[in-house]
Amino acid sequence: MSPVPPAPLPLTLTGAGALAVNVTCALMLARFRAHGGSLTRAAFLSARNDAVANIAIIGAGLLTAYTLSAWPDLIIGLAIAAMNAGAAHEVWSAAREEHRGPRARFRQYKKG
């Protein structure tokens, strides 16, 4: 029941490699994020959140090397879960709005 810290070097290097991939994806998707509906929005938010998570994972690897504790990795994991829950709520809201259709959006627009 005692948590064992991950190996700091592989954790940090994996985070750095994934960061390069996710930043590239986020940059490619950025110009479409407001135009393609909920699925495009979800793809952009996923790539963006993964890039932010990769930066946090690199930090966790460095903190793990310094502290030799599993806590940095556990705390970062909880923060990533919270960030992704927020993005999921945003995509859910966009999809719900799409499902309502043009009439509902028009009524909402008229209300003001």
Q: What pLDDT band is residue 43 in, cutting at 50, 70 and 90? A: confident
When divided into structural domains, the chain yields a total of 1
Average pLDDT of span 80-95: 88
pLDDT of amino acid 97: 80
pLDDT at residue 71 greater than cutoff 70: yes
Average pLDDT over residues 9-31: 90
Question: Domain limits at 42?
Answer: 8-111
What pLDDT, on the 0 to 100 scale, is given for residue 41? 76
List, in sequence order, the alpha helices (H) in 31-70: 38-67
For the chain, how are helix, strand and coil distributed in percent, rounded to 5? 85, 0, 15
Arithmetic mean of pLDDT over the chain: 84
Token output for 5: 């810290």
| Burial call 58-81: b when 16+ CB within 10 Å, e when fewer | bebbebbeeeeeeebbeebeeebe
> Is there a domain that residue 66 lies in?
yes
Quick one: pLDDT band at residue 27, thresholds 50, 70, 90?
confident
86 found inside a domain: yes
> Is 1 among the domain residues?
no
